[in-house]
Amino acid sequence: MSPAFLAVVAVILCILFRLLNVNSQPQIPQMFCRDGQFMECFNKIAPMLREPYIPTRLWGFSGHIQTIIHSIIGRVKCPWPLGERVYLALTDGSTLTYDLYQPLINGVEDDITVAICPGIGNSSESVYIRTFVHYAQCHGYRCAVLNHIGVLDSVQVTSGRIFTYGHTDDYSAMINHLLKKYPTTNIVSVGFSLGGNLISKYLGEAPRPKNIIGGVSICQGYNAVVATQWLLKWQNFHRFYLYVLTENVKSIILKHRHVLLADDIKQRYQLNERDISAAATLPELDEAYTRRVHNFKTLKDLYSWSSSLNYLANIKRPMVFVNARDDPLVPDTLLNPIREFTNSHNQSLYIELANGGHLGFYEGGLIYPNPVTWLDRALVSLIGGIVMSHNDLLVAKGSLTTTVI
């Protein structure tokens, strides 16, 4: 082999090693929590949070690779949990569905329902949702998964809208229906990415049913105004991910164009189908469609209304937030507010990992990861910690009542 060829190979290998971060070492997650009593519940039930997260050796230290593999492949050896699909007719004419899954083991003391809100354009049929649902079922939890309106091919859109970033009425309708079916159950809200923003906003918008005992948010960006500005930049391939998100939402709109872009809808909201089809970024698509359908004067108004950051201070339930520093969709600057929030509010915990990408968190192995991810394991433990904290509070209140009597 010629020296020139060897030099090219060396350069390529250096770039690959740089991109894959193979020289990185596993790190222990960072915790932000000022409430020692709340933190102690997780120390008891989730010792994994005090141990290093070990990504898949060859590629798991790259946030880009984790994110891409998650979006294309999802989980390995993914089960398909069996459940029932529930249909709800909403007052605005929309047809909402959620999938309901019963626990797979008996004898669990607490009746807990995990109310799941998937990420943008996702549903109960998304691979990472299926894996987590099955894992949660195996630990004795009932699961309910919101299907964002417009996402499922098998469910027709029956009104002039689909889901959006800050519209929590659909999630609220699922919660209310669950409580009619199971009035004594306790609910833990779990949201992934966009879903994390929605469940946080939902819990902070208004007083919510007392049956909701806490929430877990994974990989959300907290501030849509700032997040959009960052995603418009080419740095760290932000613009590439924005393009993928844009095409995802656009395809949902155009798939249901016979309803969403019917003549009367276009006239009512002053929609131009050509502008919607030509939109190259989410801001362009939201200007052409979302802002108009949801009656906002400006995009900034829409994004500010949608951002969970503006509702966190009003949340009256225990909350856990999880992010990765190498998440290419959520720049580090978006994480400062949640660090500050959890360091100044009781019953809140923020877990920050060095690696994991956006909803990846694959672990173990050299090339082929474990079927169950770090996130799947951690989520079940975090739900258990919230349940333990809730039960401890009930015991404390009971003891206080007994003492007074």
Q: How many residues does the chain have?
A: 405
Beta strands in 282-405 (DSSP E): 319-324, 348-353
Angstrom distance (rounded) from CA 196 to CA 173: 17
H helices of 221-262, in order, are 224-231, 238-255, 257-260
* CA pair distance 392, 390, nearest whole angstrom: 5
Show which residues are catalytic: 193, 327, 358
Rounded CA separation 67/80 (Å): 22
Distance, CA of 90 to chain centre: 24
Three-state SS at 347: coil
The CA distance from 14 to 46, in Å, is: 38
Token digits for 368? Answer: 């082929």
Angle, helix 224-231 to helix 238-255, in steps of 10 degrees: 110
Q: What is the 3-state secondary structure (H, E, C) of 261-311?
A: CCHHHHHHHCCCHHHHHHCCCHHHHHHHHHHHHCCCCCHHHHHHHHCHHHC
Residues β-bridged to residue 320: 216, 349
Helix H or strand E encompassing 63: helix 63-72
**Run of H or E including 338:** helix 336-342
**Distance between CA 227 and CA 48 in Å, rounded?**
30
